[in-house]
Amino acid sequence: MIKTMTMKKRQYNAGMAGFFLGGICAISAGVLVSILRDQYQLSYGFSGTLVSAMSIGNMIALLISGILPGSIGEKGTTLLLSIGAFLGYLLMALTGNPVLLLLAFLLVGVSKGCTANKCTLLVSNNTSDKQRALSLLNACFAFGALLCPFLISFLQRKSSTIAMLGVSATGLLLWLVFLTADLPGKPKTRGEKSGGTDFSFLHNTAFWILALLLFCQNAAEYTVNGWLVTYYKNEQILSGALAAYTVTVQWSCNLFARLLLAFVLKVKKPFQALSLMGVGITVMYAVLLRMHTALPALIVLGLFSFSIAGVYPMTIACVGDMTSSASLGFLLSFAGIGGIIFPWLVGIIADGTGLRTGMIVNLIPCAGVIVLPLLMIRHNRSSALHT
């Protein structure tokens, strides 16, 4: 009994610590892509491709993290996938070879997806108060995200290479946390497997509306995370290392909004709330593109981050009875495609007509967050009339 309690506590603490380190590793990529672009004179198109490669890695992790444990166990799977942050940032520090940089961002994305999934399970499976524990888990990630620009700025005073090596060392610490987390080492036996996977959710219209909603949320958020530092530098709104602190503004407001949703606000009509969030996202993003000075731009960025913070958790909660490992895996993988396509599309357009024009394309998924919840309301009303 004592041994079981000790293991639960160790796994719970590993989840919290892992997500804190994961916040540093995941958010650092958006800062470092700007440094890499300046260091190696990368094009906008290739810079966008790097951001998309990270999204591809994240999606790969979501797809295979539920398959590999049957062959090599949970511990083997987690250690194999989570090492990507250490190796990816190490590659960035050592080379500017385009192929290896693509591999580096892919590895970081794989580690990001693995870390998010595993830390959520470690915490939720080892606590009696899941809502409070998962709120604390998100706070750990946000705190890591807030810390990352300060860490990079401090290390960049030595050199850009030292900054990348510092984030790589953080990735190694993340891997060591999982190594000591008492994860199951043996694969499941055949007798432990379920009788089959239910894919009936694929025939549900509501599921596809929610999938498109998360697609738009991923597209809008990944584009801002991946391109905003470069955009601010290009428009001379912020310069030098100061531009990296846009991440601090984003995650401070994101954390504040999610804590409000968790502990203060009681949302009774989620789809109306989601559509209102979409209005906030679209308006703030449109205003953001018209900013020319630092302080107003940072204020509007904070309002954008505040508006988009609740879209992901509220949409996942709306999946309701359709929730299963298969449905969530498919949902998050489909949503991840938005985070792949739009950052890449911004870079491609920017190469031809300039970065400002490229950034305008992100208004499409922002507007999608307005429209799709309204379609969901209409669908629910139609379904109620036919029952």
Confidence at residue 232, expressed as pLDDT on a 0 to 100 scale = 79
Pick the CATH number of 201-387 from 1.10.10.10, 2.120.10.30, 1.20.1250.20, 3.30.43.10: 1.20.1250.20
DSSP annotation of 252 reads H
Map out the domains of the chain as residue ranges: 1-186, 201-387
- The CATH architecture to which 1-186 belongs is Up-down Bundle (1.20)
Which of 369, 117, 33, 63 is CA-nearest to residue 218? 369
Four-residue CA torsion sign, 119, 122, 125, 128? negative
Task: Specify the pTM.
Answer: 0.72
Residues 6+ apart with CB under 8 A from 160: 35, 39
User: pLDDT at position 239, please?
Assistant: 67
- Whether 1-186 shares its CATH topology with 201-387 is answered yes
Task: Report CA 46 to chain centroid distance, whole Å.
Answer: 21
pLDDT confidence band for 1 (50 / 70 / 90)? low
**Using one digit for the tens of pLDDT, what is the confidence trace for 175-193?**
999 998 878 765 545 444 4
Residue percentage of the chain with pLDDT more than 90: 29
